[in-house]
Amino acid sequence: MDIKQFVDDSIRNIKQTVGDKKAILALSGGVDSSVCAALVSQAIGSHLTCVFVDHGLMRKGEREAVEDVFNNEFDVNLIVVDAQERFMTKLKNIEDPEEKRKIIGEEFIRVFEEEQAKLSDHDFLVQGTIAADIEESGKEGGKLVKSHHNVGGLPEDVNFELVEPLRELYKADVRAAGRELGLPEPMVARQPFPGPGLGVRCLGEITEERLEILKEADYILRDEVAKAGLEYDVWQYFVAIPDFKVVGKVNDERAFAYPIFIRGVISEDAKEATWYGFEEDFLRRLSKKITDQIPQVVRVLYDITDKPPATIEYE
């Protein structure tokens, strides 16, 4: 694909579609939505408003990082919505992964509708939907693997006209488009992060206790990967926490606490992936740090399953 031609064509098409109206962009701070923000910003400038929804399912420090980058490095209108309590209430007692994804997707849209009502002429919703999202959601002839919040999770009665400029691209092309648009390399090369956030890494019902454990373990993993200089070697790396406990031993006493799953993969387009072989010393150091710093965790497990048969995410 000629990425420069794609960028030029997309900017022209967005200008023609939106015209003199305005658009809201669903900004997560991830690669897809950030490239969308840069692309649409070049097309319609100040007619773009970016909305970042803090649903409480982001990684530790995520909100602060998004606010810093998009308030200081990009000339966009940024609205930050604190919706943590709202999402947790909706997700209470929900265990099914598909139902969680659909609830998160619908709440996203409802938040955007509320923000739209406060603004004038924002008739378009921009989303960073990419080709893999559409395929895995069973759309356009594909088979359902999982519903993505920006595809299968959308309610039928949305009040926006959708603009999805990246829907024909896979992740590698999205990154290339970001570089063409002049986005900083750390943002372009950033690992993928699911739209439902940690909601699909906190397996089963999402509880505040397990969510906080997950955030701390994820922070430790990201810190260790950065210290080892592996950020650009591993395509995606994260932790997940199950909804069951296992037996362990803490301070010479029997403990009944959580295991943590570590997942690291290499891929080009997310359609297939191979598990990443972290060195033994790295895994040993990581396991010790997680169990030392998070007393609710007594076991660290490393996933060595490719996609297929597994998916990259657990839910």
Annotation: binding site for ATP:
28-34
Binding residues: 28-34
Q: Which residues contact 250 (CB under 8 A, 6 or more apart)?
A: 257, 295, 298
Phi-psi region of 216 (alpha: psi -120 to 50; beta: other; left: phi over 0): alpha
Beta strand ranges found along 109-214 (DSSP E): 122-126, 161-163
Beta strand ranges found along 132-252 (DSSP E): 161-163, 236-240, 246-250
Query: Are the C-beta atoms of 24 and 118 separated by less than 8 Å?
Result: no
Question: Quick one: tokens of 250?
Answer: 């803490």
Task: Please state, in angstroms and rounded to a whole number, the distance separating the CA atoms of residues 178 and 238.
Answer: 23
Task: Please state, in angstroms and rounded to a whole number, the distance separating the CA atoms of residues 227 and 41.
Answer: 34
